[in-house]
Amino acid sequence: MEKMNYKIIIQYDGTRYDGWQKQGNTANTIQGRLEAVLSRYAGTDVEIHGAGRTDAGVHALGQTANFHLAQEADTQELQAYLNRYLPDDIEVTELSRVPERFHSRLNAVEKTYRYRVETGGRKHVFERKQIYRMDTAVPALDLEAMKRAAAVLEGTHDFKSFCANKRMKKSTVRTLKRIGITRQGTEYIFDFTGDGFLYNMVRILTGTLLEVGQGKRDWNSMQELLDAKDRSQAGFTAPAQGLTLVNVRY
- pLDDT, tens digit, 9 for 90 and up, residues 128-167: 999 999 976 678 899 999 999 999 999 999 999 999 998 8
Burial of 63-72, coded b for 16+ CB within 10 Å and e otherwise, reads bbbbbebeee
**Per-residue pLDDT reduced to its tens digit, 23-45:** 877 879 999 999 999 999 999 99
- The stretch 176-191 carries a mean pLDDT of 97
- Which CATH topology does 4-98 take? Alpha-Beta Plaits (3.30.70)
**Residues spanned by CATH 3.30.70.660 within the chain?**
110-249
Q: State the DSSP H helix or E strand holding residue 36, giving kind and residue range, or none if neither.
A: helix 30-42
Of the candidate CATH numbers 3.20.20.70, 3.30.70.660, 1.10.3210.10, 2.40.50.140, the domain formed by 110-249 belongs to: 3.30.70.660
Q: How confident is the model at residue 216 (pLDDT cuts 50, 70, 90)?
A: very high
- In this structure, of 6-15, 128-137, 220-229, the range with the lowest mean pLDDT score is 128-137
Q: Catalytic residue numbers? A: 55
**Residues spanned by CATH 3.30.70.580 within the chain?**
4-98
**Per-residue pLDDT reduced to its tens digit, 79-102:** 999 999 999 999 999 999 999 999
Amino acid identity of residue 180, one-letter, is: G
What is the structure's pLDDT at 1? 60
Query: What's the predicted TM-score (pTM) here?
Result: 0.94
- Mean pLDDT across the chain, nearest whole number? 95
Closest C-alpha among 84, 81, 103, 76 to residue 5: 103
